[in-house]
Amino acid sequence: MVSVSGVRGRVGDGLTPEVIATFAAAFGAYARSRGPGKTVVLGRDSRVSGPMFARAATAALQSVGCDVVDVGIAPTPTVQLAVEDLHAAGGLAVTASHNPIEWNALKFIGPSGMFLDGDEAAAMRAFLDDIPRATWDGLGGWSEDADAVERHLKRILAIPFLDVEAIRAKRFHVALDCVRGAGGTIFPRLLEALGCTVDAINMETDGRFPREPEPVAENLKELEALVRRTGAAIGLATDPDVDRLSLVSGEGRAIGEDYTLALASMLVLRHRPGAVVTNLSTSRLLDDVAERAGVPLVRAAVGEINVARRMQAESATIGGEGNGGVILPDVHLTRDAPVAAALVLQLLAETGESVQSLADGLGRYEIVKEKVARPSQPLDAVYDALAARFPEADADRQDGLRLDWRAEKKWAHLRPSGTEPIVRVICEAPTRAEAAELVETLRAALPS
């Protein structure tokens, strides 16, 4: 499955070392074509298939004359930062992020440390048809970078408004679940630097995930139990490549990943008011946070690179996605779970409130997601008809169709699947019944 930012699939069933090698070589040739640099950073999450695919990618990169700098098992944001720090021509992260254990993937990183955008990805894929291999005297080299995680950690602790000593003084009791992913390489060090007492589970970096790796509420039962058993003030859960963070309250209840970005934004906007950017499918919790701070909220198309590019254009203070992905430009323009954790702990230290109290103060909305058969008509015509059918709603057409009934605090987002003949419908409203009713209203309004 090829997307803007990478290629992914089930190991041994579509995704093979040959596929990885082909795309890695094409990426290396593309990276070299963009300038004189030939260094490519390579890192991976902890998946069992990771070493095999990393070796295949390394050989492929060397075959087109790239010098590989290997950071080993590391968070994807660490790999992206290493591209920046080393002024590399690009980077490859071998990771399937939150996907199940049988998946793996390559993520393509440009010289800015950001994922490739649509135009860049198309230019990279053009090399797939004719990969220019190096001769024996032009093959690339290989070296290790053992300091990438440490540099990442230092960047987080140097966030201008992060009061490390104030957090340390609180001596927060934290429960931690890294799902046996790459989070074990950085989270213990971060929480130690912030003076936290930690009870942790699933810290081994062996990729044998004990639960479904996506850190959504229904997958965090073990962490909820750990919080209740240990009396922790907060539970932190990340995904295998450490770009998403979910929170569990001190009462032992997963509060939902949409609250991560909302709470992190509350903290940042206390110190640095400015535009906030998120995607079209993120909860309106963030609208409420921005409105209370008196700053604009800007929405971009779904996809991290789309949010990051819009953040650049808006000179945004903070941004991210409602899946627990927080982007803080003070560190870099990519989702970063350790950054999110530091910001939330700072918010707890500053306000003296609990996670549950802060979440309750924001209120709650309910999201319902459904799949509907793709209409036979062209989707643009379908979107036109729906916008005309609901003229009272604000319509946004930059990524499918988003209809927003602001006065009623509800919205719907329709966008086609890239892999199935369906349209995904996401609706949010103050209650689940209202959200479900909105789904059915739109389903009935869709032409067959």
**DSSP symbols for 190-235:** HHHHTT-EEEEES---S---SS-SS--GGG-HHHHHHHHHHT-SEE
Give pLDDT, residue 247. 98
SS (H, E, C) 259-273: HHHHHHHHHHHHHCC
pLDDT band of residue 419 (cuts 50, 70, 90) is low
Q: How is residue 425 written in tokens?
A: 């419908």
d(CA 251, CA 81): 35
The percent of residues in the chain predicted with pLDDT above 90, rounded, is 93
Contact between residue 269 and residue 329 where contact means Cβ atoms under 8 Å apart: no
Q: Of 46, 63, 97, 265, which residue is the catalytic one?
A: 97
Give pLDDT, residue 3. 76
User: Virtual CA dihedral for 229, 353, 318, 111, nearest 10 degrees?
Assistant: -30
Secondary structure of residue 298 in the 3-state scheme: strand
- Given a cut of 80, is residue 336 above it in pLDDT? yes
Tens-place pLDDT, residues 93-137: 999 999 999 999 999 999 999 999 999 999 999 999 999 999 999
Phi-psi region of 12 (alpha: psi -120 to 50; beta: other; left: phi over 0): left
Tens-place pLDDT, residues 160-201: 999 999 999 999 999 999 999 999 999 999 999 999 999 999
d(CA 33, CA 28): 9
- Outline which parts of the chain fall under CATH 3.30.310.50: 366-445
The superfamily CATH assigns to domain 152-362 is: Alpha-D-Glucose-1,6-Bisphosphate, subunit A, domain 3 (3.40.120.10)
Tens-place pLDDT, residues 40-63: 999 999 999 999 999 999 999 999
d(CA 88, CA 37): 7
AA identity, residue 378: P
d(CA 217, CA 236): 12
- Outline which parts of the chain fall under CATH 3.40.120.10: 6-146, 152-362
Q: Tell me which of 3.40.50.10090, 3.30.310.50, 3.30.470.20, 3.30.1360.120 is the CATH number of domain 366-445.
A: 3.30.310.50
AA identity, residue 65: G
Q: What is the pTM assigned to this prediction?
A: 0.95
Tens-place pLDDT, residues 290-321: 999 999 999 999 999 999 999 999 999 999 99
d(CA 173, CA 186): 17
Give pLDDT, residue 5. 76
d(CA 85, CA 250): 37
DSSP-derived letter for residue 174 is E
Question: Which residues are paired to 341 by β-bridges?
Answer: none
d(CA 14, CA 398): 32
Secondary structure of residue 426 in the 3-state scheme: strand
Contact between residue 263 and residue 347 where contact means Cβ atoms under 8 Å apart: yes
Q: How is residue 162 written in tokens?
A: 């992060």
- Given a cut of 80, is residue 444 above it in pLDDT? yes
Average pLDDT over residues 230-244: 98
Contact between residue 6 and residue 45 where contact means Cβ atoms under 8 Å apart: no
Which residue from 29, 150, 131 is spatially nearest to 89, judged by alpha carbons? 29
The values of phi and psi at residue 109, to 5°, are: -120, 130
Fold for domain 6-146?
Alpha-D-Glucose-1,6-Bisphosphate; Chain A, domain 3 (3.40.120)
Which residue from 362, 376, 341 is spatially nearest to 285, judged by alpha carbons? 362
pLDDT band of residue 236 (cuts 50, 70, 90) is very high
158's CB contacts (< 8 A; 6+ apart) are none
Annotated catalytic residue 46: no
AA identity, residue 435: A
Tens-place pLDDT, residues 73-91: 999 999 999 999 999 999 9
